[in-house]
């Protein structure tokens, strides 16, 4: 095995860290959803059956859709908390995400 091949094998087998998974989830939600003001990652869990993937729970803060739709003016910006679950593969690519009505209990 050449050095180049050995480097490729060790790089592809590298498990990403929890912090790297958090960064990937935050970046995805900020890009995929409209008017995101803040993303709080509340839980990150390794997915063993996925050979290094991750599942993350997140709270996304977005402007209240009803106030925007009605064109109401408020003194302060009214933000809603929206809950999401994001699943990442071993390379931190998003495999799936879904909106949750309320935060699921742990």
Question: What is the DSSP code string of 72-101?
Answer: ---SS--EEEEEEEEEE-TTS-EEEEEEES
Tell me the pLDDT tens digit for each residue of 71-104. 999 999 999 999 999 999 999 999 999 999 765 4
CB 81, CB 98: distance < 8 Å: no
Determine the structural domain holding residue 53 and report its residue range: 17-100
CATH number for 86: 3.10.450
Structural domain total, the chain:
1
- CA-to-CA distance for 82 and 72, rounded, in angstroms? 21
24: confidence class by pLDDT, cuts 50, 70, 90: very high
What sign for the dihedral angle of Cα 4, 8, 11, 13? negative
53: confidence class by pLDDT, cuts 50, 70, 90: very high
Give domain status of residue 12, yes or no.
Answer: no
Give domain status of residue 6, yes or no.
Answer: no
- CA-to-CA distance for 53 and 94, rounded, in angstroms? 10
Give domain status of residue 43, yes or no.
Answer: yes
Spatial CA neighbour of 25 closest among 54, 46, 62, 47: 54
Tell me the pLDDT tens digit for each residue of 58-72. 999 999 999 999 999
Give domain status of residue 58, yes or no.
Answer: yes
Tokens of 89: 């593969």
Question: Look-up: residue for tokens 């839980």?
Answer: 43
């Amino acid at each position: 095995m050449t050095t180049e091949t050995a480097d490729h094998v060790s790089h592809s087998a590298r498990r990403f860290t929890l912090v790297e998974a958090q960064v990937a989830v935050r970046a995805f939600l900020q890009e995929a959803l409209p008017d995101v003001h803040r993303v709080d990652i509340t839980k990150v869990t390794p997915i063993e059956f996925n050979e290094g993937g991750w599942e993350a729970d997140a709270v996304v803060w977005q402007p209240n859709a009803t106030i925007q739709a009605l064109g109401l003016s408020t003194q302060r910006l009214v933000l809603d908390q929206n809950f999401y679950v994001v699943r990442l593969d071993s390379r931190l690519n998003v495999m799936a995400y879904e909106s949750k009505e309320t935060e699921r209990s742990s």
